Structure 1
């Protein structure tokens, strides 16, 4: 390991430790505020604190390992996990459609999720490590006859303790369109994407198309910390530099990022596994995993600091301010001498109560404005969905059905269409998330409320089509072309024989004249006409047969193309219907999620206002001595809240600094 790599290791270790310290302190602050909220009977604050604390305590960062079929993703993940006995099967047999998740737990458990029987609920079955291959490989589960949907692995691997959940996908470009659909369906859940390619196969256009689709679907297209790139199998080439330069340039072009900002880490997972088994330092040096782990973990530490810790601290801050408000106002009231000042303060709080009650009852402008804005967003998403699908099917009509690889392998064609449609869905998810945040901010400003971003649902990717696309519609009704082929061959052989005979007659006569004028001329002409005529007949028959076959092949291709177009119409209709229904559900879900966040904050603010009124009522009357005693109690109550609020601000600053490492 070089000095720079050791420095990276130290920095990485420090970052991991810093995150854990910040998270532990934030979890402690949840307990402090929850205690105060319980004393004040602030039920909405208690609920919000509990939900936010659970997200921080149990939150995992999902990293989806993806790429085209058979690029060594499972081998790479085995090497990253660092176990001497590989956890995931890496045989050369074809993997099934299963997505596999690997996360930390004190006790190992492995569960396979199976489709329900006759449309019933999904079934969960506990299995052992030895049984994994029976579900996730084509040899153990041919054509997925066991109807396995997902493999979930919880294991006490120390490399997973920090809360990283790896998601191994079957990839795209394989023999089954289910691979593409299964991979694309999991991408919206990703917090980061690890894209894997290898030196043995140049980065293809289909891989670049998938890369754009994957980063968009995972909503990390504009976030460098959400994208990681690995070039595997570097032990199979002498000089890896040209491969790195090629991949870096192509990734930059596909993602729109400057080539200099794209870091591609070259590794040999096989060498790393050999090192884990033998301890040979040469294998470790060849593997390149020290650099890979430094890049991965530093990137993911930054990302989880932003996603997990940042959101929790925002929730803490809102609740701290809601709990501090009534105490500060009560202290202010005790300090005021004039009756008019106290009356004005009470009227100010009463006005806030009335405004919040109007908002809570839904009679304020915010409910109508929210529904109007979400409806506008729904219309925008529908228009983008229609335009996106039209582009997909325009490519199908003008490009895909003319490609031999798709005409020869219809499952590959369906897989490509599924990937294209999934890319449309990924773009819609990204647009929906951005626009929903804008809608929430606008409605919040109108309602004079400070909000945190709620967790929003995403559009599901198109399901794997059940229709069988064969390109063979009407094959049984196609006429028998053999008679026509024989007629064309006969005509061509006759023409060839005639032309050959004429040429042979002339050439033979010339040669015969040169040898023996007179008799030689006649004999040469007859012999030449017979020999060359026979050759011409055979040549003509061959050309006629070949021409007939070519024309027949063209006709077959055109018939297959028409058949595919007809069969795929059902897939297009299914995708359109799926998206229309999903968009309607998303619009409804967005309205509910945004309304729930607004309603929650209204209830929290109303609880704070009610608490303020109660505090003011308790001190309306009383002696000066009682007022002084009450002021002391309030200051004592305020002190831990203010300390918590100050510490939350400090932690927020520290988290921002850590995320920027």
Structure 2
């Protein structure tokens, strides 16, 4: 069974001769649509946002998945502060977007080994790192897979959660990283609740799944997985059996990549299997590629199939007229084509009934989108008032509060926009079927970005300080010393013997003096006086005042944004109307090109002699052959794409097993 990349390349190769034929036949609308399909297929991407709490092993996981052990820093004390977008690229390169002190953005090319300098919290560079763009020559990324490494949610750096939440709207899937060493934290469950809300609104039931890292450190991984499914199901509103958790060990995968047991292929294979990464890759590619196969590959094939029909039908009609040779058959074909041409002309007119119906349907969609937008934004503002304003870090650093609310607003806008775009696409497809013009589903717009909440005017609330005078008293110590002992003085004794003894003792004291010990208290260190600055807790009175001020600012922002959001809904629905009308008009125009070509061929057929008709039939056979072959190839590829999408969608939901991570390699 061919994979996505091989099918994509075959379809791209097939579109080229079709486009050339359309240009030669002056079927410009058909050629333009084929070019659009070619461009969408060539540039199609699938974005997977990898997120989780700090120190859960996200960077190690990505390094192992990309089979590039040192591309992302994995120091246990390293705090990733910006999102890193990883795409395929050759030659490899890295680029960082910096926000300078004046608010402008600047892009700089950096060396791959300096990624950690810009991704780390508190890295020293010329501005604030906003985004890292990495282009790596990794085969797995060639199909258009884009991986986004995000800062840890929750934890010490609260603004990291806002950065990560801001990445969710661009995600086709969310890969949440858990650790076998730590239970689910409150910040993790809160984030999962938000992510599940966004994914459920986007109607992607398989677009949120989980990886359990460091699972080789646990003996009973099955019990951990079951407990994890129950917890995640409780916060996401899913059934436990619908929660996919893939256990992996980045350490075992790194050992495999390092060539451990290279002389023992069987043991090395067991090492790779025990890492869990083969199962993770199977789940990742299968679950996420099914909708891409249907949307990109299937959409391109529908366009190719329509182009084959548009280019082949005039040839078949001309052949039918020439083979019959009767005036009656020619007139019948002409009348039939003219009726079709008139129907298409009526559809293309500004007064066509379908345009009025489109306006009515879009009015309903506008109302529903406005109601859904109000509900989503109400949820954001309610969280801001009841949760975010209770976080001390948000009160002392209002910029973080603004980041969090803006991230929530962005996610809400994307959730509603995705829902509305799907409803508009369904409306577009229904109209196309009723009008009789084939439609693969065009790319529709989305809700404009929500206005940004700015709380920078409040400034950072610093903790009060005071100078403290500290006196360190002098210290003394007791030492033991010796001194020469003195004999009792007195008059010289009388008598020769006594005088001799006295003189002998004096000589003895002089030549060998006697000593006695005594203790003395000595100053060890003089008194010291010093001053130091002490930070005090911010008084609750000050925090309460700041909370009230920020609540008023948030309330004003909410009131100011309501009309802007309502206008955004109007603009989005107006964009849907333009996109749908333009798509249907393009389809109608393509059909008009077909009928005009057919009528011209029928006119020329009526003027041909019998000999010219016979010669022309031979030419028609040669012109039809490549189009027939392309049509047959389109049908084969369509079956392959359907099989690929079905095979990927039917991938096993529970890739963990006793032989998975935690087993012995």
TM, length-normalised to structure 1: 0.76
Aligned-partner SS, 1:625: helix
Matched, 1:158 2:143: no
Structure 2 residue corresponding to 1:583, chosen from 541, 555, 569: 569
Matched, 1:72 2:44: no
Q: CA deviation at 1:199?
A: 2.8
- The 3 A distance-change label for structure 1 pair 211 and 167 is same
Greater mean alpha carbon deviation, residues 192-201 or residues 357-366: 357-366
Does structure 1 retain, via aligned residues, the 8 Å contact 2:396–2:460?
A: no
Does structure 1 retain, via aligned residues, the 8 Å contact 2:211–2:248?
A: yes
* C-alpha separation in 2, matches of 1:274 and 1:111: 30
What residue in structure 2 maps to residue 134 of structure 1? 117
Structure of higher RCO (CA pairs closer than 8 Å, 6+ residues apart)? 2
Does structure 1 retain, via aligned residues, the 8 Å contact 2:50–2:177?
A: yes
- The 3 A distance-change label for structure 1 pair 32 and 278 is closer
Task: Work out which of the two has the higher radius of gyration on C-alpha atoms and give 1 or 2.
Answer: 2
Post-superposition Cα deviations, 1:232-289, rounded to whole Å, max 9, x if no partner, equal 2334544333331222123334444432233211123244335434626587566332
Does structure 2 retain, via aligned residues, the 8 Å contact 1:62–1:191?
A: yes
What residue in structure 2 maps to residue 362 of structure 1? 350
- The 3 A distance-change label for structure 1 pair 397 and 411 is same
1:532-547 equivalent positions in 2, closer than 5 A:
none
Does structure 1 retain, via aligned residues, the 8 Å contact 2:201–2:419?
A: no
Post-superposition Cα deviations, 1:465-487, rounded to whole Å, max 9, x if no partner, equal 430497999x99xxxxxxxxxxx
What residue in structure 2 maps to residue 658 of structure 1? 644
Matched, 1:640 2:626: yes
* C-alpha separation in 2, matches of 1:346 and 1:159: 54
What residue in structure 1 maps to residue 45 of structure 2? 60
1:249-328 equivalent positions in 2, closer than 5 A:
249-277=230-258, 279=260, 284=272, 287-328=275-316
Aligned-partner SS, 1:38: helix
What residue in structure 1 maps to residue 87 of structure 2? 103
What residue in structure 1 maps to residue 69 of structure 2? 84
* C-alpha separation in 2, matches of 1:337 and 1:353: 23
The runs of 5 or more residues in structure 2 that have no matched partner are: 262-267, 465-537, 648-665
Structure 1 residue corresponding to 2:368, chosen from 362, 374, 380: 380
Does structure 1 retain, via aligned residues, the 8 Å contact 2:45–2:146?
A: yes
Structure 1 residue corresponding to 2:579, chosen from 579, 583, 593: 593
Matched, 1:193 2:193: no
Name the structure with the higher strand share.
2
- The 3 A distance-change label for structure 1 pair 211 and 317 is farther
Aligned-partner SS, 1:619: helix
Q: CA deviation at 1:460?
A: 5.7
Matched, 1:167 2:148: yes
What residue in structure 2 maps to residue 27 of structure 1? 12
Q: CA deviation at 1:331?
A: 2.0
Does structure 2 retain, via aligned residues, the 8 Å contact 1:112–1:126?
A: yes
Does structure 1 retain, via aligned residues, the 8 Å contact 2:71–2:113?
A: no
Greater mean alpha carbon deviation, residues 575-584 or residues 101-110: 575-584
Does structure 2 retain, via aligned residues, the 8 Å contact 1:232–1:268?
A: yes
Does structure 1 retain, via aligned residues, the 8 Å contact 2:86–2:135?
A: yes
- The 3 A distance-change label for structure 1 pair 336 and 183 is farther
* C-alpha separation in 2, matches of 1:173 and 1:148: 20
Does structure 1 retain, via aligned residues, the 8 Å contact 2:49–2:168?
A: yes
Does structure 1 retain, via aligned residues, the 8 Å contact 2:165–2:408?
A: no
Structure 2 residue corresponding to 1:125, chosen from 83, 108, 111: 108
* C-alpha separation in 2, matches of 1:411 and 1:177: 11
Q: CA deviation at 1:440?
A: 0.6
What residue in structure 2 maps to residue 242 of structure 1? 223
Q: CA deviation at 1:88?
A: 4.7
The runs of 5 or more residues in structure 1 that have no matched partner are: 1-14, 477-551
Name the structure with the higher helix share.
1
1:344-423 equivalent positions in 2, closer than 5 A:
344-398=332-386, 401=389, 417-418=405-406, 420-423=408-411
Does structure 1 retain, via aligned residues, the 8 Å contact 2:176–2:209?
A: yes
Q: CA deviation at 1:110?
A: 1.5
* C-alpha separation in 2, matches of 1:656 and 1:357: 35
Does structure 2 retain, via aligned residues, the 8 Å contact 1:226–1:303?
A: no
What residue in structure 2 maps to residue 442 of structure 1? 430
Matched, 1:459 2:459: no
Does structure 2 retain, via aligned residues, the 8 Å contact 1:108–1:154?
A: yes
- The 3 A distance-change label for structure 1 pair 212 and 306 is farther
TM, length-normalised to structure 2: 0.76
Does structure 2 retain, via aligned residues, the 8 Å contact 1:178–1:464?
A: no
1:203-214 equivalent positions in 2, closer than 5 A:
203-214=184-195
Q: CA deviation at 1:554?
A: 7.6
* C-alpha separation in 2, matches of 1:117 and 1:40: 57
* C-alpha separation in 2, matches of 1:571 and 1:94: 32
- The 3 A distance-change label for structure 1 pair 555 and 230 is same
Does structure 2 retain, via aligned residues, the 8 Å contact 1:219–1:430?
A: no
Aligned-partner SS, 1:620: helix
- The 3 A distance-change label for structure 1 pair 322 and 558 is same
Does structure 2 retain, via aligned residues, the 8 Å contact 1:110–1:152?
A: yes
* C-alpha separation in 1, matches of 2:365 and 2:54: 36
1:599-618 equivalent positions in 2, closer than 5 A:
599-618=585-604
What residue in structure 1 maps to residue 513 of structure 2? none
What residue in structure 2 maps to residue 534 of structure 1? none
Q: CA deviation at 1:384?
A: 1.4
What residue in structure 2 maps to residue 427 of structure 1? 415
Post-superposition Cα deviations, 1:146-185, rounded to whole Å, max 9, x if no partner, equal 1433221112123323332212122432555653443333
- The 3 A distance-change label for structure 1 pair 361 and 172 is farther
Aligned-partner SS, 2:3: helix
Q: CA deviation at 1:432?
A: 0.8
Does structure 2 retain, via aligned residues, the 8 Å contact 1:214–1:423?
A: no
* C-alpha separation in 1, matches of 2:621 and 2:23: 18
* C-alpha separation in 2, matches of 1:365 and 1:117: 56
| Root mean square deviation, CA, Å | 3.5
